[in-house]
Structure 1
Amino acid sequence: MAAELHVALVAADREVWSGTATLVVARTTSGDIGVMAGHQPLLGVLESGPVTIRTGEGETVVAAVHGGFVSFADNKLSLLAEFAELAGEIDVQSAEQELARAKAEDDAVAERRANVRLRTASAAR
């Protein structure tokens, strides 16, 4: 059995997911990072992108995360996001409308957020 770490994915308004995992992959300003039990302590800035969590039970949890911080110490990983939603919570039609609106308004930030939501939703299928 692989060593596990405790993970908490928290958005500004709620706890999105919490549990044990064998691997977490997230996008930071320094690039994608994978964290497993025993990883050296870290503190980083999250970029918009999917976060993939391989649970201790062998399942995969995928969430769209937009901004925030990641920290790891003592086998506890905290992902503190400005906004986060699990792949299964994403309304694909709403995200497609958001993407069209962002393109029409030439809003690069909203366009990136919509693209992340769509990629995350499709990755979980």
Structure 2
Amino acid sequence: MTVEVVTPERVLFSGEASMVIARGVQGDLGILPNHMPMVTPLKIAPVRIKTEGDKELVMAVSGGFMEVRGDKVTILAETAERPEDIDPSRAKAAKERAEQRLNEKHPDLDLRRAERALQRAITRLQVTNK
């Protein structure tokens, strides 16, 4: 099947794959060729694309949507990063900052924004550890 991962800035991946594994808002999804058509929002989580020869491409995806239609899977991501594009020390620092903000419980804290920042940092670290 053909898979495309697109962000507002660029096409991050376009090619053939045997499976796509992503986290939708209702849980993990494994998409194989000829999957039933669907559109689902995505959570902030790694997306795994299994390509020829059992190779696997992993990316940190920060929300967006996945559309499955016939033998084509399109991921329209708010942001997506490959492991080589992620600075692990920067991601670790971002995780620590987000945890600190959440632990301080400041009255002006935008809780949702802080939680999303923490999840993005955790996802980046997961992807770089693969």
How high is the TM-score relative to the length of structure 1? 0.91
1:30 has 2:26 as partner: yes
1:80 has 2:76 as partner: yes
Q: Deviations over 1:28-58 (max 9, x none)?
A: 0011000111111111000010000001243
Number of the residue aligned with 2:122: 115
Q: Deviations over 1:46-76 (max 9, x none)?
A: 0010000001243110000011000011201
**1:1-125 matches, cutoff 5 A:** 5-106=1-102, 107-123=114-130
**Structure showing the higher strand proportion among its residues:** 1
Counterpart AA for 2:94:
E
Q: Identity of paired residues, percent?
A: 34
Give the SS at the match of 2:74: strand
Unaligned runs of 5+ in 1: none
Tell which structure's C-alpha radius of gyration is larger.
2
* Offset at residue 105 of structure 1 (A): 1.7
How high is the TM-score relative to the length of structure 2? 0.88
* Offset at residue 120 of structure 1 (A): 1.1
Unaligned runs of 5+ in 2: 103-113
* Offset at residue 12 of structure 1 (A): 1.9
Counterpart AA for 1:42:
M
**Structure showing the higher helix proportion among its residues:** 2
Quote the Cα distance in structure 2 between the aligned partners of 1:85 and 1:94: 14
Report how many residues are paired: 119
Counterpart AA for 2:74:
S
